[in-house]
Amino acid sequence: MFNRMVQRQEERLDAVFHALADPTRRGMLRSLAGGERSIGELAAPFRMSFAGASKHVKVLESAGLVHRTVEGRTHRCRLAAEPLAGALDWLRFYERFWTDSLDALERELRKPVTPRRPGGSRE
């Protein structure tokens, strides 16, 4: 049971990172952060067809990042940001590594430099 739950979480995280890997989908998510949009509105900045935009939306839906409703012929999309929290948690695990590495680099850069003599040796 626990293994199945972990596997589902990993699959969900894989789907989120797959969805985020494409700049068009990232742009669509950014647009949706401003409010609900139709697929046509999502497609417009990318000069793509409804069918092309719909394929991107399907990937976002599969990752749980977008909810789509159909009103007549209009497909309305809204952001579902909850799955992004899982991605953020995964990235935070590495934050300590980044911070420690940058702190070490800063310490090295702040060390005083001993001038070299004309022959190449240090004083």
Give yes or no for residue 50 having a pLDDT over 60: yes
pLDDT for residue 27: 97
Mean pLDDT of the chain: 88
Domain 2-83 class in CATH = mainly alpha
pLDDT for residue 76: 97
Query: Span 26-53, mean pLDDT?
Result: 96
Give yes or no for residue 121 having a pLDDT over 80: no
Q: By CB neighbour count within 10 A (0-12 exposed, 13-18 middle, 19+ buried), where does 72 fall?
A: exposed
Give yes or no for residue 101 having a pLDDT over 90: no
pLDDT band per the 50, 70, 90 thresholds, residue 39 = very high
